[in-house]
Amino acid sequence: MKIAVVGATGLVGGVMLKVLEERGFAEHDIIVAASPKSVGKQIDFAGRKLTVTSVEDAIAQHPQYAIFSAGASTSREYAPQFAAVGCTVVDNSSCWRMYNEVPLVVPEINMTTVTPDNRIIANPNCSTIQMVLALSRLHWKYRIKRIVVSTYQSITGTGIKAVRQLEAEEAYAAEHHVPSSQLRQCMEQAMGDQYQPAYPNQIYRNLFPHGGDFLPSGYTTEEQKLVDETRKILGDPTIKVNATVVRVPVVGGHSEAVNVEFHNEYDLDEAIQLIANTPGVVVCDDTSQNLYPTPVMAHHRDEVFVGRIRRDDTQPCTLNLWVVSDNLRKGAATNAIQILEALTVSDL
């Protein structure tokens, strides 16, 4: 079997290759493709060297499956070309997610929406994946009416440039003993054009409520994804979602404070059991031992961790959750490879 990984030299692409190896795909013919500047580079995979090829060359090799993590513009251009040669594409970008004819899939929830006619399958946004997986069984039992979510998102969600910004700011602050409040200004003055941050704000010892681009509504594109994708994955356009996305100086994963209101009253013990019985979810909730999910706990793990499960006493039928997951694994690479696994098992 031939499997192409498009965007193989990127942060998520590297994790995709790692997960492919971990989950038994090392014996297959793995084609690694990237932008022209990366063509010819060598990538270590399962004890061998893979040579990066162009996307056009990858298409010419007629792979059965292609996993994309190269950005929306690349997916828009090349995913249909892969599909045209009989390849099934699992795309990690935002490009195809809201097309009615393209399934938006979290395998534990809605793999049944995929048919043999679907040549492009969309991987949801990282923050959406962990939230809907934690809430899916609760929705099926009690039916969700409204979600209020605040996310605390790792810089890795922005890519390697953001990681380098944080590392550069940490190193500069340590070397020059610059107060945090003056760090960005000092770096801009001292480094000039060499200082090219990924964010409009300093991330070292800071956070800011800005993920994606701002929309005319005042919300951001990252916040709107939580609204639109949640409704599509759970199959209920009536669910109300109010989201605030915050970027924090964390590498390990995304965290979310979720307040969910149901149409029907719930039993707290039953709700906890429903969450615990959800495949891929781990309940970590013992406040007597100060046990609750953290990004450090989730780092390099595939599970979605849920804790601080408690009733909202201010209104009926409402529950509070704290949800944490590694955004590069379950939030991106692992979810895509799980889709691939389901496709290969069912031979769709």
Sort 181 into a burial class: Cβ within 10 Å, 0-12 / 13-18 / 19+. exposed
Which is it for the CA torsion 266, 327, 5, 76, positive or negative? positive
Q: Is 254 a catalytic residue?
A: yes
Give the rounded distance of the alpha carbon of 53 from its chain centre: 25
Do 3 and 26 meet the contact criterion of CB atoms below 8 Å apart? no
Closest CA to 175 of 160, 164, 190: 190
**Residue ranges in 23-84 assigned as alpha helix (H):** 55-60, 72-84
Give the DSSP letter string of 282-330.
EE--BGGGTB---HHHHTT--SEEEEEEEE-TTSTTEEEEEEEE-TTII
Do 272 and 278 meet the contact criterion of CB atoms below 8 Å apart? no
Do 252 and 166 meet the contact criterion of CB atoms below 8 Å apart? no
Which structure tokens are listed for 226?
Answer: 């939580």
The C-alpha atoms of residue 253 and residue 231 are separated, in whole angstroms, by 23
* Site of tokens 């895509």: 336
How big is the chain, counted in residues?
Answer: 348
Helix 221-234 vs helix 126-142: crossing angle, to nearest 10: 40
* Site of tokens 């409520």: 209
Annotated active-site residue in 126, 139, 284, 317: 126
Helix or strand or coil: residue 152?
strand
Spell 118-156 as b/e; 16+ CB within 10 A means b. bbbbbbbbbbbbbbbbbbbbbbeebebbbbbbebbbbbb
Annotated active-site residue in 87, 95, 139, 254: 254
Tell me the catalytic residues.
126, 254
